[in-house]
Amino acid sequence: MTDFLLGLFIGNHENINDPDVRKQIGSFAGWVGIVLNIILVAGKVLAGIVSGSVAVIADGLNNLMDAVGSVITLIGFKLANKKADKEHPFGHGRYEYIAGLAVAVLVLLVGIELGKTGIEKIINPAAVDFGLLTLIILVISVILKLLMGLFAKNLGHRIKSPALIAVSADSRNDAIATSAVLITALITRFAGINLDGWASLGVAIFIVYNGISLIKETISPILGESPSDELVGYITEKIKSNECVIGIHDLIIHDYGPGKQYASAHVELSGDIDSLTGHDVLDKIEKDFLENDNIHLVIHFDPINSDKT
C-alpha cells in the first residue's frame, strides 16, 4: 500500500538517495499526518462535547498536537534540504534531527497538560454519557492511528528519518492511549462507573513516559553519537573489496543528517604502485561511495612495503 501511494504522488520514489526524492517522501508523510489528524481532532472534540468527557476531548487535543508535529516535520525536511553555504559547509541535514526533537518535546508537553486535566477531573468529577457515536469514533481512531504509525514507520526506516520514526512512535502511543479511553467509555456506559478522570491521567502518564524516551532517542544524533557497526562494517568491507587495497585504518564518520554522511579513512596500497595509479584507484572508490551511497568519502593514501603484507 505504501509503494502504491508513493507511486501515485511521487515520481521515481524508489531513488531514496536522491535528496529531492527524500524531501518529497518526507513532505508527503507530513501532509498525510496533518490531514488525518485534523479529521481525528474534529471527530473526537465533537464526541467529547456530546458525551461530556474530558478524556475524549483531551485525546482530541493530543491529535491536534500531532498535526502541529507533522507541520514541524514538514518544516524540518524543507530546512534540511537547503544547500550548503558559507556558514554551514556540510549542509543543513541536522535540521531534521531538530524537528524530531521538537516533536518529542511537544509530546511531553501535551502529556503534562493532560495530566493536569485528569487530576482536576478526578477531584471534581462530572457526569459523562458515552453514546454509540462516541464509541464508533474512538474505534475508528484506534485503527487509523495504528495504520498511520505503520505508514510513518515504513517511510522512516526507508529514508532513515528520525523525525518520521518519532512520529511513528507517537502514532502508536496515541492508538494505545485512545484504546484506554475507549475501554473507560465502555466501562462507564455498561457498568456505570465514572473513570473519565483516571483515564485522562493514565493517558497523560503514558504520553509523558514516551515523550521522555523520544527526547533521548532524537537528541543523541544531535550530540554526535557513534556510527553504527553496520555502517562501519559496510564502508570497511566495500573499500577492502577493491583488489588493490591491502588494508584500511583510522576510519572516521561524521553524521550531518540522514543521508548526509562524511567519512575519512587511511587506505593501504602497495608501495610498488606509483602515486598517479594509486590516486586513480582511491578516486574511483570515493566516487563510487558518493554516487551509490551518498557518502562523501576522503581517503588518505598509505603506501606500504608489499614484502611485509
Dist CA 52 CA 196 (whole Å): 10
pLDDT, one tens digit per residue, over 45-74 is 998 898 888 888 878 887 887 787 777 777
Which pLDDT does position 259 carry in this prediction? 64
The grid coordinates listed for 234 are 559496510
Which pLDDT does position 273 carry in this prediction? 86
CA diameter of the chain: 88
Radius of gyration of the chain (CA): 25
> Is the Cα dihedral 37, 39, 45, 51 positive or negative?
negative
What are the beta bridge partners of residue 266? 249, 300
- The residue type found at 136 is I
Residue range 229-308 in CATH 3.40.50.720: no
Which pLDDT does position 258 carry in this prediction? 65
**Candidates 1.20.1510.10, 3.30.310.40, 1.10.760.10, 3.40.50.620; correct CATH number of 2-223?**
1.20.1510.10
Which pLDDT does position 17 carry in this prediction? 66
For the chain, the residue count is 309
Strands 295-304 vs 245-255: parallel, antiparallel or unpaired: unpaired
Residues of the chain with pLDDT under 70: 1, 16-17, 258-259, 306-309
pLDDT, one tens digit per residue, over 97-112 is 787 788 788 778 878 8
Dist CA 105 CA 74 (whole Å): 16
Dist CA 211 CA 216 (whole Å): 9
> Which residues of the chain form CATH 1.20.1510.10?
2-223
